[in-house]
């Protein structure tokens, strides 16, 4: 008799579908050449399974679509703003809210308010847009994540943790008054979607309090971090995701968020904080870059959908299925012997491109190359997260050559089925099999900022 087991299933059924089509091999080869071997420059009509990002790509629920019909599009004081403000207060606990069009809008405002020229901004690994805003405000990013996070094979369950000794070294070196805040990210994207633990956050909180350093959360995937705490941190198994999220935020002073991830919307973000003076300044700055402080670049209906998305995001069954699907894909790929970042995080499977294409130098862009090859193989779009994303060191002008040279297969929430995941795993295995014959790339165009979005490449001879 078959072994008895209990599976999870998605807590929804499908009401509307969007048809997708796979282009043939010749068309895919032409498309990637036309896109300069950069998956950001592919047209979505040429993509079969789109794992570029989980940002703004979620399927909204019927309740979110219904909420959009309740959009109050008044220029000032939309009722959807007040509903969102109440929802953020209830689930994240922050007193003040400033909506923005997406995460980087909030990062811009926060960086301008909190950073002075010559400041140092520690963080549990960099994120592309976050670091750029810190640099543009005159700050310098300092990586204080635990060493385990830079080793793709290390299976430490809380690779998002901050190394308090690295914080101490920074404070000893530059003085606490040059460190306005630490940027703390939940389920650290560039490390593979890795959570921090509450135990580590409590330690960080005590350290920062002592040195008068703020903790500003990048809450983009913090509900997913709360889910990981529930399933793997001792003492939290009986707490709800809602309770854990509130506890996380209670140790922080404010947040920026790209609502396009956890909050299940296609556009949106916000800055939130508890301090009245910081709020007053954010309220003033937002009108320059985003819009009036009660809409911040969003339509009323976007804020309504976001409030409903936040309510859905903390449901256990939602997170179980979301993280479960990512884990399922990870297991399939691992079974083919393909090296991935361990442990599997919440939003994506990261292939260790540096190891898979170990015959290429890092300046031949192994991750960019692998990402292009996966598209050619079966129309699957992934994202480079390696030397191209890391950019150049502003001091030396050289490529940063980060320790992690990865590609990310990012799973949009509530969009694909397990059958799609099987096709993805088989395609990864097929590329892996022919890895030794894959040639690297040469950059032919490099834009000034965030080069991974728009740079172009050609195959090396
Ligand atoms: N993340 C992602 O695909 C979208 C663009 S890639 C630069 O992972 C964190 C942790 C993010 C993030 C976006 C942003 C910026 C901030 N923090 O894209 O501006 O993962 O909404 O958010 C992307 P916005």
Mean pLDDT by 10 residues, the chain (461 residues): 85 97 97 98 98 98 98 98 98 98 98 98 96 97 97 96 98 98 97 97 98 98 98 98 98 98 98 98 98 98 98 98 98 98 97 98 98 98 97 93 96 98 98 98 96 97 87
In order of 108, 393, 436, the CA distances from 401 in angstroms are 26, 10, 22
Residue 311 confidence (pLDDT): 98
Q: Whose CA is nearest to atom 3 of ligand 1?
A: 53
- Does the active-site annotation cover 91? no
- Is residue 269 within 6 Å of ligand 1 at its C-beta? yes
- Is residue 187 within 6 Å of ligand 1 at its C-beta? no
Distance in angstroms (rounded) separating the CA atoms of residues 152 and 342: 6
**C-beta of residue 198 within 8 angstroms of C-beta of residue 244:** yes
**What is the whole-number distance in angstroms between the Cα of residue 384 and the centre of ligand 1?**
14
**What is the whole-number distance in angstroms between the Cα of residue 3 and the centre of ligand 1?**
42
Residue 5 confidence (pLDDT): 87
Q: Whose CA is nearest to atom 20 of ligand 1?
A: 189
Residue in 163, 218, 253, 262 annotated catalytic: 218
**Mutate which of 258, 263, 390 to test ligand 1's pocket (most atoms within 8 Å of Cβ)?**
258
Residue 172 confidence (pLDDT): 98
**What is the whole-number distance in angstroms between the Cα of residue 350 and the centre of ligand 1?**
16
Domain boundaries along the sequence of the chain: 25-54+316-459, 62-313
- Does the active-site annotation cover 81? no
Residue in 385, 408, 414, 435 annotated catalytic: 385
- Does the active-site annotation cover 127? yes
Residue 461 confidence (pLDDT): 87
* Cβ atoms within 10 Å, residue 247: 17
Q: Class for domain 25-54+316-459, per CATH? A: alpha beta
Residue 394 confidence (pLDDT): 86
- Is residue 103 within 6 Å of ligand 1 at its C-beta? yes
3-state secondary structure the chain: CCCCCCCCCCCCCCCCCCCCCCCCHHHHHHHHHHCCCCHHHCCHHHCCEECCCCCCCCCCCHHHHHHHCCCCCCCCCCHHHHHHHHHHHHHHCCCEEEEECCHHHHHHHHHHHHCCCCCEEEECCCCHHHHHHHHHCCCEEEECECHHHHCCCCCCCCCCCECHHHHHHHHHHHCHHHCCEEEEECCEHHHCCECCCHHHHHHHHHHHHHHCCEEEEEHHHHHHHHHHHHHHCCCCCCCCHHHHHHHHHHCCCEEEEECCCCCCCCCCEEEEECCHHHHHHHHHHHHHHCCCCCCCCCCHHHHHHHHHHHHHHCCHHHHHHHHHHHHHHHHHHHHCCCCECCCCCCCEEEEEHHHHCCCCCHHHCHHHHHHHHHHHHHCEECEEECHHHHCECCCCCCECCCCCCEEEEECCCCCCCHHHHHHHHHHHHHHHHCHHHCCCEEEEECCCCCHHHCCEEEECC
Residue 291 confidence (pLDDT): 98
Residue 279 confidence (pLDDT): 98
Residue in 62, 75, 155, 173 annotated catalytic: 75
Residue 56 sits at the vertex; the CA angle it makes with 52 and 62, to the nearest 5 degrees, is 125
Q: Class for domain 62-313, per CATH? A: alpha beta
Residue 3 confidence (pLDDT): 77
Distance in angstroms (rounded) separating the CA atoms of residues 255 and 34: 39
Residue in 87, 128, 129, 252 annotated catalytic: 128
- Is residue 130 within 6 Å of ligand 1 at its C-beta? yes
**C-beta of residue 67 within 8 angstroms of C-beta of residue 305:** yes
Residue in 91, 92, 126, 127 annotated catalytic: 127
**Mutate which of 54, 103, 255 to test ligand 1's pocket (most atoms within 8 Å of Cβ)?**
103
Residue 158 confidence (pLDDT): 98
- Is residue 55 within 6 Å of ligand 1 at its C-beta? yes
Length reported for the chain = 461
Q: Which atom of ligand 1 is nearest to the CA of 452?
A: 7
- Is residue 218 within 6 Å of ligand 1 at its C-beta? yes
Residue 433 confidence (pLDDT): 98
- Is residue 225 within 6 Å of ligand 1 at its C-beta? no
- Does the active-site annotation cover 252? no
Residue 191: which residues within 8 A CB-CB, separation 6 or more? 124, 125, 145, 149, 150, 159, 160, 341, 345, 404
Q: Whose CA is nearest to atom 15 of ligand 1?
A: 103
**What is the whole-number distance in angstroms between the Cα of residue 319 and the centre of ligand 1?**
19
Residue 305 sits at the vertex; the CA angle it makes with 303 and 310, to the nearest 5 degrees, is 95
**C-beta of residue 457 within 8 angstroms of C-beta of residue 37:** yes
Q: Whose CA is nearest to atom 24 of ligand 1?
A: 103
Residue in 131, 221, 260, 261 annotated catalytic: 261
**C-beta of residue 251 within 8 angstroms of C-beta of residue 226:** no
- Is residue 256 within 6 Å of ligand 1 at its C-beta? no
- Does the active-site annotation cover 37? no
- Does the active-site annotation cover 280? no
- Does the active-site annotation cover 53? no
pTM above 0.85, yes or no: yes
Residue 387 confidence (pLDDT): 97
Residue 47 confidence (pLDDT): 98
Distance in angstroms (rounded) separating the CA atoms of residues 350 and 262: 19
């Amino acid at each position: 008799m078959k072994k008895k087991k209990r599976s999870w299933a998605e807590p929804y059924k499908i009401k509307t579908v969007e048809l997708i089509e796979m282009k043939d091999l010749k068309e895919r080869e032409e498309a990637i050449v036309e896109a300069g071997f950069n998956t950001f420059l592919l047209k979505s009509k040429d993509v079969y399974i789109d794992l570029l990002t989980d940002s703004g790509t979620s399927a909204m629920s019927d309740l979110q679509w219904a909420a959009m019909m309740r959009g109050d599009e008044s220029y000032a004081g939309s009722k959807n703003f007040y509903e969102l403000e109440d929802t953020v207060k209830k689930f994240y606990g922050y007193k003040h809210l400033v909506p923005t069009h997406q995460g980087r809008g909030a990062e811009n405002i926060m960086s301008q308010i909190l950073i002075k020229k010559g400041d140092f901004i520690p963080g549990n690994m960099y994120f592309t847009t976050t670091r750029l805003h810190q640099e543009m405000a005159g700050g310098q990013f300092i990586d204080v994540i635990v060493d385990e996070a830079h080793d793709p094979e290390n299976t430490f369950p809380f690779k998002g943790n901050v190394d308090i000794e690295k914080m101490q070294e920074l404070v000893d070196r530059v003085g606490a008054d040059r460190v306005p805040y630490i940027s703390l990210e939940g389920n650290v994207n560039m490390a593979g979607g890795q959570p921090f633990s509450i135990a580590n956050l409590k330690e960080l909180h005590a350290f920062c309090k002592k040195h008068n350093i703020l903790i500003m959360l990048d809450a983009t995937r913090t509900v997913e971090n709360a889910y990981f705490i529930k399933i793997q941190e001792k003492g939290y198994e009986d707490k709800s995701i809602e309770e854990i999220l509130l506890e996380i935020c209670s140790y922080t002073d404010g947040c920026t968020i790209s609502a396009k991830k956890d909050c299940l919307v296609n556009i949106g973000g916000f800055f939130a904080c508890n301090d009245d003076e910081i709020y007053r300044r954010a309220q003033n700055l937002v009108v320059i870059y985003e819009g009036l402080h009660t809409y911040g670049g969003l339509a009323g209906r976007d804020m309504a959908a976001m409030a409903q998305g936040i309510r859905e995001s903390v449901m256990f069954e939602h997170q179980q299925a979301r993280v479960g699907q990512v884990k399922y894909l990870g297991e399939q790929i691992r079974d083919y012997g393909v090296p991935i970042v361990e442990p599997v995080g919440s939003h994506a499977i990261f292939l260790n491109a540096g190891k898979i294409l170990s015959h290429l130098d890092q300046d031949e862009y192994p991750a960019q190359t692998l990402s292009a090859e996966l598209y050619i193989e079966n129309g699957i779009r992934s994202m480079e997260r390696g030397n191209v994303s890391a950019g150049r060191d502003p001091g030396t002008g050289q490529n940063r050559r980060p320790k992690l040279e990865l590609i990310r297969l990012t799973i949009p929430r509530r969009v694909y089925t397990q059958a799609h995941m099987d096709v993805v795993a088989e395609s990864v295995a097929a590329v892996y099999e022919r890895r030794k014959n894959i040639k690297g790339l040469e950059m032919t165009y490099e834009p000034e900022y965030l080069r991974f979005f728009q740079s172009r490449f050609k195959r090396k001879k």
